[in-house]
Amino acid sequence: MNLEPLLIIELVALGLATGFLAGLLGIGGGMLLVPFITLILSARAVGADLTVKMAIATSMATIIFTSISSVRAHHKRGAVRWDLVKGLAPGIVLGGALASLGVFALLKGSSLALFFALFVSFSATQMYLDKKPAPTRQVPGTGGLVGAGSVIGFLSGLVGAGGGFVSVPFMTWCNVAIHNAVATSAALGFPIALANVIGYVIAGQSVPNLPPYSFGYIWLPALIVIASCSVITAPLGARAAHKLPVKQLKRVFASILYLLAAYMLYKALA
């Protein structure tokens, strides 16, 4: 596979867009990256089973860099709930390791694509409905946070997203203000990504027919270009989150997610 100019342009555009959305909505960019990296790899004759797995792993790897850039901007505004990061992180590492080292390698790419499509559809619906929590509900104790973190880390590992699609609804359900939830989700992206990426690299070492420039399941050209571009636009998205009508933007984004979920469903069934 040659690194032709068109490929670089595609990855640059993808990196700029996902970085901005990661900062704006606290989603980590994975919901956009996985379908588009799958499409890019499929167009370059990578095996169908590998395209989805490599897209998920590469998407997760970019979140390491995006989350650092995004969380700095949110932290400057005092929006990150570091107490929640501390409570959720241990469970996230545990859940992420279980997903990336075990379940991910055992499942077929078509199964992961189907799971991705269903979960993104669910997340888009939650985003569109924007349900309000019961006013008396509070953040759970240490055990509850570890349990919630484990679920967030595990699901993130299977779909290659930074966990915002679970952690933001969970925190707002617990009456954490939406701007705090988005900012805290950005901070959680780092332990989610790190735990899962280590698993993807180890699990992918013995996989045959990987394309050139692969490191385990991670496709390095996409990682380098997308991460380099996303760190530029993530702070811009974080700033915009404090100025733009996020509720309306979420509904627009939810509509885009339905289309991407439909594409991944097509890949799963095809």
pLDDT for 137: 67
Other Cβ atoms less than 10 A from the Cβ of 14: the count is 22
Single-letter amino acid, residue 259: L
Domain that holds residue 59: 5-269
- Residue 134 DSSP code: P
- How many independent structural domains does the chain possess? 1
Burial of 118 (0-12, 13-18, 19+ CB in 10 A): middle
* 262 vs 249: CA distance, rounded Å: 20
Chain CA centroid to CA 15, Å: 13
> What is the torsional sign of CA 118, 124, 127, 132?
negative
Q: What is the pLDDT along the chain (270 residues), one digit of tens a residue?
A: 567 888 899 999 999 988 888 777 766 567 778 888 998 988 887 887 789 889 989 988 988 887 777 788 778 888 899 999 999 999 998 998 888 887 887 788 788 888 888 888 887 887 777 666 555 667 888 888 999 999 888 888 887 776 677 788 788 878 888 788 888 888 888 888 888 899 899 988 888 888 888 999 999 999 999 989 988 887 788 788 777 776 777 777 788 788 888 888 887 887
